Amino acid sequence: MTSLESLALSRGTVDRVTHRRNDKQWLDAAWADPRTRVLVVSDGRALVRFDDEHVGLIFVSPAEAPAGIRFLLGQDADGVVYFGVSADLPAALSPSPAPSPVGTVRAASLREVGVLLGDRDAGLFTHAVALANWHDTHTHCPLDGTPTIPDPGGHSTRCPADGTEHFPRTDPAVIMLVTDPDDRCLLARNAAWPGRRVSILAGFVEPGESAEQAVIREVAEETQIKVTNVRYVGSQPWPMPRSLMLGFRAEAPAGQAIVVDRDEIAEAHWFSREELLAAIKTREIALPPPVSIARHIIESWFGGPLPSTWTETQGPVSPGR
């Protein structure tokens, strides 16, 4: 099996120019350049233009950008610099959908447009949502409660009282497709999900634990299945609010019965490829949307694209834990 390709939120093309983040002079010059593009993010959403042939982010110039915490996203091959700003969406274009000769502009989330955007925009949006979520929720020093001050590039903050530096949080989560000796795939319905939705198992990596150990622990906790031969297959950021999804395959030796943890999992079953396709066609189950790494891992096992998705706005919100 090959590694996963074309994960919707792992496609960024813009150089993050990390060496510029504390270069105040360079940052000031970039902000003064009218070619610079600013992506405004509010509550995980940005303005997006939809037309017949293209879905793309709406950027504003620095002069048009609203006041808010600013962070450097990077610089493209043409030298254009991109910033993000966490603030209310620009008033001129928000909140109502604005029909125009070049399509419709409205606020949209990564979950909704992650697969529709081009590589550059998908990467910029993912990066900006992750940083905006961090800034929005990490405003004070965890040691003494003093309001922190963002560094010039917006990728860290500093406490003015004790000088401690603070960096963005990313929570690693594992998501794994388990197969039995007949190469059937284990799919489960989370107790929190309505209807017919199923997916592969997932959970957060705990402190002091490797990702592979988390795979083994989570599968056992949720289904009492013991797995071996845990292999990494790829990763995707999922900044809703701050996860990094680490994809794995694992094998369940024969002779084990599924016993679900009812608090987390409503039901779990083995599916052969034929059974999976039949269950989708009869609408007995529905799979996660193409923006998710879960969908890619399932299709990688299946050997090609599968029909059926959840509604794009309804999940998965976070890994089950």
Where does this chain bind Zn ion (CB under 5 A)? 141, 143-144, 146, 159, 161-162
Nearer to Zn ion, 1 or 143 (CB): 143
- What is the helix (H) or strand (E) element at residue 274, kind and residue range? helix 273-281
Element (H, E) at 294: helix 293-302
Residue 123: enclosing H or E segment and its boundaries? helix 119-137
Nearer Cβ to Zn ion, position 162 or 206?
Answer: 162
CB of residue 158 to Zn ion, shortest distance in Å: 9
For Zn ion, which is the closer residue by CB, 151 or 264?
Answer: 151
Q: CA–CA separation, 57 vs 210, rounded Å? A: 37
Least CB distance to Zn ion at residue 138 (A)? 12
**Among the listed residues 208, 189, 212, the one whose alpha carbon sits nearest the alpha carbon of residue 199:** 189
d(CA 241, CA 295): 20
* Closer by beta carbon to Zn ion, 32 or else 149: 149
Distance CA 17, CA 9 (A): 19
Q: Looking at beta carbons only, is 97 or 142 nearer to Zn ion? A: 142
Residue whose entry in the numeric block shows the structure tokens 């997932």: 202
The answer to whether the CB of 73 falls within 8 A of the CB of 124 is yes
Pairing of strands 165-166, 157-158: antiparallel
N-to-C CA span, the chain: 27
Considering the complex, what minimum distance in angstroms separates the CB of residue 147 from Zn ion? 9
Query: Shortest approach of Zn ion to residue 154 CB, angstroms?
Result: 19
Which of 146, 272 has the CB closer to Zn ion? 146
The residue (of 163 and 255) whose beta carbon lies closer to Zn ion is: 163
Tokens representing 129 are 């949502």
Peptide bond into 101 cis (omega under 30): no
Distances (CA, A) of 244 to 164, 181, 218: 25, 29, 16
Q: Using CA atoms, how far apart are residues 16 and 219, in angstroms rounded to an integer?
A: 36
- Cβ closest to Zn ion, residue 102 vs residue 143: 143
Indicate the residue type of 163.
Answer: G
Query: Could you tell me the smallest distance in angstroms from the CB atom of residue 166 to Zn ion?
Result: 9
Nearest-approach distance from CB 318 to Zn ion, in angstroms: 29
